[in-house]
Amino acid sequence: MSQAPRVRILLSETYNPWFNLATEDWIFRELDPSAQTLFLWRNDNTVVIGRNQNPWSECNLTRMEEDKVFLARRTSGGGAVFHDLGNTCFTFLSAKEGYNKTANITILLDALSRLGVKAQASGRNDLVIPLEDGPRKISGSAYRETKDRAFHHGTFLIGADLTRLSNYLTPHPKKLESKGSASVRSRVMNIRDLQPEASHEALVEAMIGAFCDFHGATAEPELLEPSFLESQPSLKRTFDHYASWDWRFGNAPRFSHQMVEYLSWGFFEVHVDAENGHVTRAQVFSDALYPDLVQDLQAALVGKPHSRDGMRQAVAEARSRHPAQERELGELEAWLMGQVEV
């Protein structure tokens, strides 16, 4: 007779998405291959984009910055999602032989039914509630596999702020063409709208019950103390990686951005191509009276990050050669900085 797999249940106590993603990564790397592991966690105030996504085209970075919303990039594919404390995340981690997406979906649906919620799996990645006017998404999943291990992680919308969700996932209007994957925008709803008693705590309990019953094993949930995790040098390095501009923005797929504006001193059309979040090619068209300045700006943009700092640096270079146009360059700088958003 084959032995029931050992199960491990880990609970995070922090709401910082970079820390939680680093913890997930750490669990994945340190994984006991003979066990089925379930990690349950929450992020506050966060948009998480997929590995191949462009933050400038997927989310509203201006609003996110105004409201101090974290941007995180994960290592799995798929689209952009919003998290607050009304959203609960789960991760199933195992060795590749023990990886079974269908089993995970059975566990997720069982956990929901323990809360009195009848959901269905839809497409490849979503759990939905079938309503009369069409399905509403309550959960989205994404996946990662390496040579010998795999994880499946996802969300549960329990009582998230859906206005904020939609605000941050509606990008600032701009002309931007990007490679990479686009999110599949869905109609969403909260579990609490069906089941007012639903809560993070109740879902955690239901998930643990469904997971243990499915695998025919039990385990005491392990609380991951932030102080313990902080003392792990590899986790600290991974945290720094998740928090870095290079991972979150610089890892964007190639894109081009066209910016057009009538400034008080002339019409401007600025086209930039960006790779790794940095401008690789720039063209500036303008009917302004200072053609040399326009040329200098065009040259200065190349190599700069597609960021406010990058725009500031490019304009500063133009300013050093055209000090008399201080006022005009100030206006240009403010416009360009608004266009790149972060």
Ligand X SMILES: Nc1ncnc2c1ncn2[C@@H]1O[C@H](COP(=O)(O)OC(=O)CCCC[C@@H]2CCSS2)[C@@H](O)[C@H]1O
Binding interface with ligand X (CB under 6 A): 48, 74, 78-79, 81-83, 87, 89, 125, 137, 139-142, 153-155, 157, 165, 169, 183-186, 188
- Rounded least distance, CB 145 to ligand X, Å: 15
Angle at CA of residue 161, ends 157 and 164, nearest 5° = 120
Q: Name the residue with the smallest CB distance to ligand X.
A: 79
Nearer to ligand X, 155 or 298 (CB): 155
Nearer to ligand X, 73 or 257 (CB): 73
Closest to 182 measured CA to CA, from 275, 258, 255, 279: 255
Nearer to ligand X, 59 or 294 (CB): 59
- Rounded least distance, CB 322 to ligand X, Å: 44
Nearer to ligand X, 152 or 304 (CB): 152
Contacts of residue 49, defined as CB under 8 A and 6 or more positions apart, other chains included, come to 55, 58, 59, 71, 72, 73, 74, 79, 80
Find where tokens 């008693």 sit.
197
- Rounded least distance, CB 15 to ligand X, Å: 13
Tokens coding 38: 């379930």
Nearer to ligand X, 101 or 322 (CB): 101
- Rounded least distance, CB 157 to ligand X, Å: 5
Tokens coding 266: 């002339």
How many whole angstroms separate alpha carbon 46 and alpha carbon 57?
A: 16
> 91: left (phi > 0), else alpha (psi -120 to 50), else beta?
beta
- Rounded least distance, CB 298 to ligand X, Å: 36
